[in-house]
Amino acid sequence: MLGVPTCAVIAKQNPGIQVTVVDLSEARIAAWKSNALPIFEPDLFSVVEVARDGTDGRAPNLHFSTDIAAAIDEADLIFIAVNTPTKTAGLGAGKASNLAYVESAARMIAEAATSDKIVVEKSTVPCGTAESLRTIFAALAPSLTFDILSNPEFLAEGTAISDLLRPDRILIGSLNDARSKSAAEALAQVYTWVPRSQIITVNIWSSELAKLAANCMLAQRISSINSLSAICEATGAEIEELAQVVGLDSRIGDRMLKASAGFGGSCFKKDVLSLVYIAESLHLEEVAAHWKTVVDLNEYQKNRFARRITRALHNTLADKRIAILGWAYKKNTRDTRESAAITIAGQLLAEGALLAIYDPLVSQNQILQDLADVHPNADSVIKIYSDATAACVDACAVVIMTEWDEFKADRITQTTLDKLADSNTHDQQLESTSTSSSSDSGIDVQDDTAENASDSPAPGLDKRIDWRSIAAVVRRPRLVFDGRNVVDADALASLGFRVQSIGKADVF
Ligand code: UDX
């Protein structure tokens, strides 16, 4: 999903390099050629526009095509940036990475190439994948030389462009021979904007494993802080105070220590399970068990949050309306893969709740598709809204599942008032491109056809919800469950809400 932002930044930073993004899907390539890009990332559109359309006066050097064979044959260096989801069947099902797309990309390269190539693994892959690629190339194109490198991407969604422009490090893995090292040097020269001291070259197996290790250790930090949040709730300690104190130890650092109702996204769970599978395959049972707890704890945290909501509503949710604010797995993306919201909504629905869901970016279809997997008749027991306050009407509880800035309860300052005035103007400007409509079923539907036509913020992302209006429409005792510790609980309490946050005492 994030191959294109990477290629767009490489193209923008290197006007002399021609970059072609290829995909089997004609619809996706058409979208990348249009003004409605298929993914939302802050600042992505302006980067794409410069390189693709030459808006800074350069000759365009970012191209999109479905002619995969031609693009392969013209290229000197090819990134494989396909998905490596968890296998759903066969050996290692539920844990091992599915390398089918990587293998199929390698086959296409071997079949289309008529000259030597540098082939770079961008996707996160298990340690040893480069060896499989080498075997495929040797079998299918024995007369050509393919230098295989590993160059994993560390960017996070929602901050992809700034992560790409200011990476902590660029990691390049190669074999130890002179030819492979010179291929690694050629790749290093693509990262013209990154100081050479931040470009780390290691052996290819370390590189493959380092990417998995980094994601697993990040996920582990979140599971660790979340485990402590359970102790905080039981004892009166405060998780944010704990995270601050622990994070001030320079050996630990303060990032990725935000307690939440559970991490989501396409990487953490998949990569931890992939590491578990690698350890099991190597008969390192204790190692596998160690990493498995990271995912288990995350499931526990999601269940714990759902149980807390149910308990506060007297252990019965039958026909009770609950508003869910936020569906994306994190802010500034409309990606919902492994979003904690899906699991928690599924559990509330299983208790008989009626859900009113609002997310500023995620489309109605996506939410329905996500819920189809966790509840048989989801469309009859949920409603999707294009406005947070409307979603909260008659709600017995408001549950915050994504840390969208929009949900913060700011103290009213002059800056906030100025921002509100600005956002009103912005909304009026957007009326011609973004509409809201009601479907026959009465479900309020947000039209997402025009999103991403401009950059940060996407339509509506600079809004703030009005908690005063929400106080007037929810049912008493105005329960708010903050799964991301995003609201100022004291500010909400002063409006009459009773706020339950992660790892903190209730505030009311
Ligand atoms: C992650 C890694 O951060 C990135 O380096 C890698 O390349 C891909 O996987 P991503 O999944 O896009 O990136 O987002 P990230 O910001 O890491 O958040 C993942 C999940 O953890 C989100 O659901 C987020 O809300 C949650 N999270 C993050 C926490 O619960 N607490 C935190 O302190 C940080």
- If asked whether residues 195 and 323 sit together in one domain, one would say no
Count CB atoms within 10 A of the CB of residue 187: 21
From ligand 1's centre to the CA of 217, what distance in Å? 11
pLDDT > 80? residue 460: no
- If asked whether residues 18 and 157 sit together in one domain, one would say yes
Is 267 assigned a catalytic role?
yes
Give me the pLDDT at residue 461, please. 67
Residue 145 makes CB contacts below 8 A (sequence gap 6+) with 116, 179
Give me the pLDDT at residue 428, please. 37
**Does 165 or 423 have the greater pLDDT score?**
165
pLDDT > 90? residue 458: no
Residue 195 makes CB contacts below 8 A (sequence gap 6+) with none
**Average pLDDT for the chain:** 91
DSSP code, position 91: T
Residue with the smallest CA separation from ligand 1 atom 2 is 156
Give me the pLDDT at residue 455, please. 57
Q: Which residues pair with residue 355 across a beta bridge?
A: 322, 382
- Per the structure, the complete domain to which residue 482 belongs is given by 313-501
pLDDT band at 417 (very low <50, low <70, confident <90, very high): very low
Amino acid at 78: I
pLDDT band at 425 (very low <50, low <70, confident <90, very high): very low
- Domain annotation covers residue 253: no
- Residue 309 and residue 397 in contact, taking contact as beta carbons nearer than 8 Å: yes
Domain stops at, among 208, 234, 269: 208
Q: What's the total number of domains in the chain?
A: 2
- If asked whether residues 335 and 484 sit together in one domain, one would say yes
**Does 412 or 455 have the greater pLDDT score?**
455
- Domain annotation covers residue 494: yes
pLDDT mean over 482-495? 96
Find out whether 70 is annotated in a ligand binding site. no
- If asked whether residues 334 and 480 sit together in one domain, one would say yes
pLDDT > 60? residue 414: no
- If asked whether residues 347 and 480 sit together in one domain, one would say yes
Give the mutation target among 124, 222, 336 for probing the ligand 1 site: most ligand atoms within 8 A of CB: 222
Q: Mean pLDDT check: name the lowest of 236-240, 302-306, 463-467, 497-501.
A: 463-467
Give me the pLDDT at residue 235, please. 96
pLDDT > 50? residue 73: yes
Give me the pLDDT at residue 2, please. 79
pLDDT mean over 479-488? 97
Give me the pLDDT at residue 21, please. 98
Per-residue pLDDT reduced to its tens digit, 241-257: 999 999 999 999 999 99
Ligand 1 atom having least distance to the Cα of 331: 25
pTM: 0.90
Domain stops at, among 177, 208, 239: 208
- Domain annotation covers residue 422: yes
- If asked whether residues 330 and 200 sit together in one domain, one would say no
Per-residue pLDDT reduced to its tens digit, 228-244: 999 999 999 999 999 99
Tokens 């996070």 found at: 156
Ligand 1 atom having least distance to the Cα of 264: 23
**Does 460 or 487 have the greater pLDDT score?**
487
Answer positive or negative: Cα dihedral of 458, 462, 463, 464.
Answer: positive
Give the mutation target among 124, 226, 256, 339 for probing the ligand 1 site: most ligand atoms within 8 A of CB: 256
Give me the pLDDT at residue 49, please. 97
Find out whether 391 is annotated in a ligand binding site. no
pLDDT > 60? residue 422: no
- Residue 149 and residue 120 in contact, taking contact as beta carbons nearer than 8 Å: yes
Residue 506 makes CB contacts below 8 A (sequence gap 6+) with 498, 499, 500
Question: How far apart, in whole angstroms, are the C-alpha atoms of residue 330 and residue 361?
Answer: 11
- Domain annotation covers residue 139: yes
Question: How far apart, in whole angstroms, are the C-alpha atoms of residue 96 and residue 270?
Answer: 8
- If asked whether residues 189 and 337 sit together in one domain, one would say no
From ligand 1's centre to the CA of 263, what distance in Å? 7
Give me the pLDDT at residue 430, please. 33
364-372 and 340-350 helices, crossing angle to 10°: 60
From ligand 1's centre to the CA of 153, what distance in Å? 14
pLDDT > 90? residue 427: no
From ligand 1's centre to the CA of 329, what distance in Å? 9
Residue 460: exposure state from Cβ atoms within 10 A (0-12, 13-18, ≥19):
buried
Rg (CA), the chain: 24
- The fraction of the chain above a pLDDT of 70, given in percent, is 89
Residue with the smallest CA separation from ligand 1 atom 25 is 330
Give me the pLDDT at residue 459, please. 56
Find out whether 23 is annotated in a ligand binding site. yes
Give me the pLDDT at residue 74, please. 97
Domain stops at, among 165, 193, 208: 208
**Does 271 or 2 have the greater pLDDT score?**
271
From ligand 1's centre to the CA of 38, what distance in Å? 21
For ligand 1, which residues put their CB under 6 angstroms from it? Answer: 153-157, 215, 218, 222, 256-258, 260, 263-265, 267-268, 329-330
Find out whether 154 is annotated in a ligand binding site. yes
Residue 421: exposure state from Cβ atoms within 10 A (0-12, 13-18, ≥19):
exposed
- Domain annotation covers residue 218: no
- Domain annotation covers residue 487: yes
CATH number at residue 174: 3.40.50.720
Which two structure tokens, joined as six digits, stand for 32? 């990348």
Question: How far apart, in whole angstroms, are the C-alpha atoms of residue 165 and residue 263?
Answer: 25
Question: How far apart, in whole angstroms, are the C-alpha atoms of residue 368 and residue 377?
Answer: 10
- Domain annotation covers residue 492: yes
pLDDT mean over 417-430? 41
* Residue of 456, 459, 507, 501 lying closest to 483 (CA atoms): 501
pLDDT > 90? residue 437: no
- Domain annotation covers residue 438: yes
Question: How far apart, in whole angstroms, are the C-alpha atoms of residue 193 and residue 10?
Answer: 9
pLDDT band at 377 (very low <50, low <70, confident <90, very high): confident
**Does 426 or 44 have the greater pLDDT score?**
44
pLDDT band at 462 (very low <50, low <70, confident <90, very high): confident
Give me the pLDDT at residue 64, please. 98
Residue with the smallest CA separation from ligand 1 atom 27 is 263
- If asked whether residues 317 and 176 sit together in one domain, one would say no
pLDDT mean over 181-193? 98
